[in-house]
C-alpha cells in the first residue's frame, strides 16, 4: 500500500496543479487598467457586439430557407436561450470585476487547465470572428462598387487556388483591421467613442427600416396563399432558433470589459439585460418588416433588406441600408478587437500565456502589445484565408465557454466562501502545503456559530452538527432534507456533492443530446432502446438538479445573482450541448487539433509560469502547532519567524473537540 501511494503521488500532485484555482485579491476593484466605462458605454458595446451583419443577412437567410415568417418566433426562442447564458455572465461580471470573461470565471471555480483551454478557444473564436467580419465588410463595400476592388486585385496583384485559402488577397479587409487596431490602442475611451458613433448610426438606420418598412407592409405576405406564417412548422422554427442563437453571441464583450467599468456591480447586469433586450427587439421587428414587405419565398439571402426596398421601388433606401450595414459591421469589428486583447492580457497576467502580452501602456492604460500583435494576426487571417470553411468553428468555442460559465455559477453558488487571500487548494509539490495566515478558523464564537477552519492542504473540520438548528452552512444539506438524506450525503464536505452533481449534469446532458441527435439516424437504435436511453439520461439530469437544489446556496449577496439556480444554468448547459451536437464532424476535428496545440502551449509554458504555482513555492513566514488537551480543547500556538531569529508566540483557545487527548499535528505555514 505504501509503495502504491508513493507511486501515485506524482500523478496526484500533477492533478492538483492542473486543477488549482485562482486566488482573488482582497481589493477586487484594483487594476492597472483604467476604470472609465459607464453603463451606457457597456450597453452600446453589447449592442454593437450583437447587432451586426446578421441583422442584414441572417434574417433573410433563415426566413427563406428555414422558418419563413415564423423567423420572428425563432429569434424570440434564441433570445430567451441567450438570456440564460447572459444571466450567468452578468453574475460573474458583477461578482468578479476582472477582465478575461469566461476564462476568468472558469479559473476561479473549476480549475487552471480548464480555464486555459476556454481562454485558448475564445482567442481563436475572436480572431476568426473578427477576420470574417472584416471580409464581409470588404465584400459588402466592394459590391457597392460592382466588385471593382476584387477585379483589380485578381488582375493586377495576384490570385491563387489553394484549399483553405481565399482566391485572392483581401487587402481591404486586412487594412481595416490594422487601422481599427491602431485606433483601439489609443485607449478604452477612444474605442468607446468610436463605438458610440457607429452604434448610433446603426440604430438610426434600424429605426428608419422599421418605420419605412411597416409603412410598406402587406399582411397578405403572411397569408395561406404565400405559404402561411409557419410554412416549415415547429421543426423549422426550432431549426431557425439554433441558427439565430449565434446572432446574440456578442454580449460577452460586456463581461470582458468589467475591469474597466466604473461600477461593475451595477453596470454589468444592467448593460447585459438592456443590450440583449434591444438586440432581440431589433432582430424580431426587422424580421417582421422584411417578411411583410415582400413574400418570404422571393427573399435574396445575400442582401435581403436592400433587395426588398429595391423591389418595392425605393432603390435609394438601399443606400441607407448599406450605410447601416457597414456601421453595424464596424461595431462588431471593434468589439472583437476590444475583447480579444483583454482575454490575452488576463491569461498573460496570470502567467499562463507569454508575459509580453501582460504589459499595459502607462499612458493609455490598455495592453498595447496584445492589441497590435493579435490585430496583425487577425489581419493576416483576413488577407489570405477562406474563412467560410472556418466560420463554423466560432460556434463550438462560444458554446463551450457558455457551458463552463453556467457550470461555474452552480459550483460557486453552493461553495463555502473562503477568507480572501487564501491560496489555491492544491499543495506545493515540493514542500508541506499550508494555508495563508488569514484563513478562517472553525471556532465557536460567543453566538455559537460554527465557522470554517483549514490547516495545511487538508480541511480540519471541527464542527458539531446542530441538529435542532434551522440555519445551515453554504453547501450543506438544507435542514428540511437532513432527516431523509443525511445518512447518504451527510458525511460529504460542503460543496462536494454539488460539484459531482454538476459533473453528472454535464455528462447526462451530453448523453441525452447525443441520443436525440444520433439515435434514430446514425445509430439506428430500436424504438425501445431509444426510449429507454432517453428516460435514463433524462432522470440522471433531473436527479442531478434535485441533488444540487437540496443544498444551501449562498444568500444575501450584494451583487446580481442568477435567478432559479440550478434550473437556469442547467437549462443553459442543456441548450448549449444540444447546439454543439448539431455541429459538423469536421468542426470537431478542427477543434481537437486546436485543443492539442493549446495543451502544447500550456505544458510547455503556462504550467511552469503560472502565478498560482509560483505563489505555492513562496517561503512561508509562520509556524503553527496544534495540540488537543486532555479536556478536549484544541490549542493553536502560532510562531512568527522574525528575520533576526526571534520568535513571537501567541496562543488561541478553540472550542472543545472529540479527538483523543495527546493528538497533535505540526506544519509550516
Neighbours of 506 (CB within 10 A): 21
- 251-282 per-position pLDDT tens digit: 889 988 888 898 999 999 999 999 999 999 99
Higher per-residue pLDDT: 319 or 448: 319
Q: In this predicted structure, what is the pLDDT of residue 281?
A: 94
pLDDT band at 392 (very low <50, low <70, confident <90, very high): low
Higher per-residue pLDDT: 498 or 557: 498
The alpha helices in 63-101, defined as continuous H runs, are 71-95
User: Average pLDDT, stretch 622-631?
Assistant: 46
Model's pTM, two decimal places? 0.80
Neighbours of 168 (CB within 10 A): 19
pLDDT band at 405 (very low <50, low <70, confident <90, very high): very high
Q: In this predicted structure, what is the pLDDT of residue 250?
A: 84
With a pLDDT cut of 90, the percent of the chain lying above it is: 35
Range from 359-363, 475-479, 553-557 carrying the lowest mean pLDDT: 553-557
Which residues, including other chains, have CB under 8 Å from residue 648's CB and lie 6 or more apart?
639, 640, 642
With a pLDDT cut of 70, the percent of the chain lying above it is: 81
Residue 115 reports pLDDT greater than 60: yes
| CA-based nearest residue to 554, from 451, 411, 402, 453 | 411
Spatial distance between the Cα atoms of 78 and 151, rounded to a whole number of angstroms? 39
Q: In this predicted structure, what is the pLDDT of residue 298?
A: 87
pLDDT band at 440 (very low <50, low <70, confident <90, very high): very low
User: Average pLDDT, stretch 590-606?
Assistant: 92
Spatial distance between the Cα atoms of 417 and 108, rounded to a whole number of angstroms? 12
Please work out, in degrees rounded to the nearest 5, the angle formed at the alpha carbon of residue 601 by the alpha carbons of 599 and 605.
120
Residue 353 reports pLDDT greater than 60: yes
Residue 473 reports pLDDT greater than 90: no
Range from 205-214, 256-265, 655-664 carrying the lowest mean pLDDT: 655-664
Q: In this predicted structure, what is the pLDDT of residue 2?
A: 52
Range from 14-18, 292-296, 614-618 carrying the lowest mean pLDDT: 614-618
Question: Which residues on neighbouring strands pair with residue 635, listed in sequence order?
Answer: 627, 653
Higher per-residue pLDDT: 302 or 205: 205
Q: In this predicted structure, what is the pLDDT of residue 7?
A: 64
Residue 524 reports pLDDT greater than 80: no
CA 586 to chain centre: 24
* Per-residue H/E/C for 352-409: CCCHHHHCCCCCCCCCHHHHHHHHHHHHHHHHHECHHHCCCHHHHHHHHHHHHHHHHH
User: Average pLDDT, stretch 294-300?
Assistant: 87
- 54-67 per-position pLDDT tens digit: 788 788 888 888 88
340 touches 131 (CB < 8 A)? no
Q: Please tell me which of 29-38, 257-266, 267-276, 616-625 the model is most confident about, judged by mean pLDDT.
A: 267-276
| CA-based nearest residue to 371, from 192, 191, 189, 184 | 184
Residue 642 reports pLDDT greater than 60: no
> Measuring CA to CA, how many Å separate 78 from each of 201, 240, 286?
25, 9, 15
Spatial distance between the Cα atoms of 580 and 514, rounded to a whole number of angstroms? 10
Range from 41-55, 386-400, 494-508, 555-569 carrying the lowest mean pLDDT: 386-400
Spatial distance between the Cα atoms of 70 and 235, rounded to a whole number of angstroms? 11
pLDDT band at 620 (very low <50, low <70, confident <90, very high): low
Q: In this predicted structure, what is the pLDDT of residue 107?
A: 92
Range from 112-121, 137-146, 220-229 carrying the lowest mean pLDDT: 137-146
Range from 77-91, 262-276, 356-370, 407-421 carrying the lowest mean pLDDT: 407-421
Residue 26 reports pLDDT greater than 80: no
- 78-93 per-position pLDDT tens digit: 999 999 999 999 998 8
492 touches 433 (CB < 8 A)? no
Cell of 71: 423567423
Residue 534 reports pLDDT greater than 90: yes
- 562-578 per-position pLDDT tens digit: 999 899 999 999 999 99
- Mean pLDDT, the chain, as a whole number? 81
| CA-based nearest residue to 17, from 646, 608, 552 | 608
Amino acid at each position: 500500500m505504501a509503495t502504491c501511494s508513493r507511486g501515485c503521488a506524482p500523478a496526484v500532485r500533477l492533478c492538483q496543479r492542473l486543477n488549482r484555482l485562482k486566488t482573488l485579491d482582497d481589493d477586487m476593484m484594483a487594476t492597472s487598467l483604467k476604470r472609465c466605462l459607464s453603463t451606457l458605454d457597456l450597453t452600446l458595446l453589447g449592442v454593437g457586439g450583437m447587432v451586426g451583419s446578421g441583422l442584414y443577412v441572417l434574417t433573410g437567410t433563415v426566413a427563406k430557407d428555414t422558418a419563413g415568417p415564423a423567423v420572428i418566433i425563432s429569434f424570440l426562442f434564441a433570445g430567451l436561450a441567450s438570456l440564460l447564458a447572459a444571466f450567468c455572465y452578468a453574475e460573474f461580471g458583477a461578482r468578479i470585476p476582472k477582465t478575461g470573461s469566461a476564462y476568468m470565471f472558469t479559473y476561479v471555480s473549476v480549475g487552471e487547465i480548464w480555464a486555459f483551454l476556454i481562454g485558448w478557444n475564445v482567442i481563436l473564436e475572436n480572431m476568426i470572428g473578427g477576420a470574417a467580419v472584416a471580409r464581409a465588410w470588404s465584400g459588402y463595400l466592394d459590391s457597392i462598387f460592382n466588385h471593382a476592388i476584387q477585379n483589380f486585385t485578381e488582375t493586377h496583384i495576384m490570385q491563387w487556388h489553394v484549399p483553405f485559402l481565399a482566391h485572392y488577397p483581401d487587402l481591404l479587409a486586412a487594412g481595416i483591421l490594422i487601422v481599427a487596431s491602431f485606433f483601439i490602442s489609443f485607449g478604452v475611451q477612444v474605442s468607446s467613442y468610436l463605438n458610440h458613433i457607429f452604434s448610433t448610426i446603426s440604430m438610426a438606420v434600424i429605426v428608419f427600416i422599421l418605420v419605412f418598412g411597416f409603412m410598406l407592409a402587406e399582411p397578405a405576405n403572411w397569408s395561406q396563399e404565400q405559404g402561411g406564417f409557419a410554412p416549415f412548422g415547429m421543426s423549422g422554427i426550432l431549426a431557425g432558433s439554433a441558427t439565430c442563437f449565434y446572432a446574440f453571441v456578442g454580449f460577452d464583450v460586456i463581461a470582458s470589459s468589467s475591469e474597466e467599468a466604473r461600477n461593475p456591480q451595477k453596470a454589468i447586469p444592467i448593460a447585459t439585460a438592456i443590450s440583449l433586450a434591444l438586440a432581440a427587439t431589433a432582430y424580431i421587428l426587422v424580421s417582421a418588416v422584411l417578411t411583410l414587405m415582400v413574400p418570404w419565398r422571393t427573399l435574396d439571402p445575400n442582401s435581403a433588406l436592400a433587395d426588398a426596398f429595391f423591389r418595392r421601388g425605393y432603390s435609394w433606401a438601399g443606400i441607407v441600408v448599406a450605410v447601416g450595414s457597414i456601421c453595424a459591421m464596424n461595431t462588431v469589428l471593434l468589439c472583437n478587437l476590444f475583447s480579444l486583447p483583454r482575454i490575452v492580457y488576463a491569461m498573460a497576467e496570470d502567467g499562463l500565456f507569454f508575459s509580453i502580452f501582460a504589459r499595459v501602456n502607462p499612458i493609455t492604460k490598455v495592453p498595447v502589445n496584445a492589441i497590435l500583435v493579435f490585430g496583425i494576426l487577425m489581419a493576416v487571417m483576413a488577407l489570405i484565408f477562406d474563412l467560410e470553411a472556418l466560420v463554423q468553428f466560432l460556434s463550438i468555442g462560444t458554446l463551450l465557454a457558455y457551458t463552463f460559465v453556467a457550470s461555474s455559477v452552480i459550483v460557486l453558488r453552493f461553495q463555502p466562501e473562503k477568507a480572501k487571500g487564501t491560496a489555491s487548494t492544491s499543495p506545493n509539490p515540493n514542500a508541506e502545503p499550508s494555508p495563508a495566515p488569514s484563513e478562517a478558523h472553525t471556532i465557536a464564537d460567543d453566538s455559537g456559530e460554527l465557522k470554517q477552519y483549514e490547516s495545511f492542504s487538508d480541511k480540519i473540520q471541527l464542527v458539531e452538527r446542530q441538529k435542532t438548528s434551522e440555519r445551515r452552512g453554504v453547501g450543506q444539506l438544507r435542514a428540511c432534507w437532513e432527516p431523509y438524506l443525511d445518512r447518504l450525503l451527510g458525511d460529504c464536505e460542503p460543496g462536494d456533492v454539488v460539484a459531482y452533481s454538476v459533473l453528472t449534469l454535464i455528462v447526462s446532458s451530453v448523453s441525452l443530446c447525443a441520443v436525440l441527435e444520433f439515435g434514430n439516424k446514425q445509430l439506428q437504435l430500436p424504438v425501445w432502446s431509444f426510449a429507454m436511453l432517453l428516460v435514463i439520461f433524462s432522470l440522471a439530469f433531473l436527479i442531478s438538479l434535485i441533488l444540487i437544489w437540496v443544498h444551501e446556496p449562498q444568500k444575501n449577496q450584494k451583487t446580481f445573482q442568477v435567478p432559479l439556480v440550478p434550473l437556469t444554468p442547467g437549462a443553459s448547459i442543456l441548450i448549449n450541448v444540444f447546439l454543439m451536437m448539431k455541429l459538423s464532424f469536421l468542426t470537431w476535428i478542427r477543434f481537437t487539433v486546436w485543443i492539442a496545440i493549446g495543451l502544447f502551449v500550456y505544458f510547455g509554458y503556462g504550467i511552469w509560469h503560472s502565478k498560482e504555482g509560483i505563489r505555492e513555492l513562496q517561503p512561508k513566514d509562520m509556524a503553527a502547532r496544534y495540540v488537543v488537551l486532555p479536556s478536549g480543547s484544541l490549542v493553536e500556538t502560532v510562531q512568527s519567524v522574525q528575520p533576526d531569529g526571534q520568535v513571537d508566540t501567541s496562543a488561541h483557545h478553540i472550542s472543545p473537540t472529540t479527538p483523543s487527548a495527546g493528538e497533535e499535528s505540526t506544519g509550516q505555514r
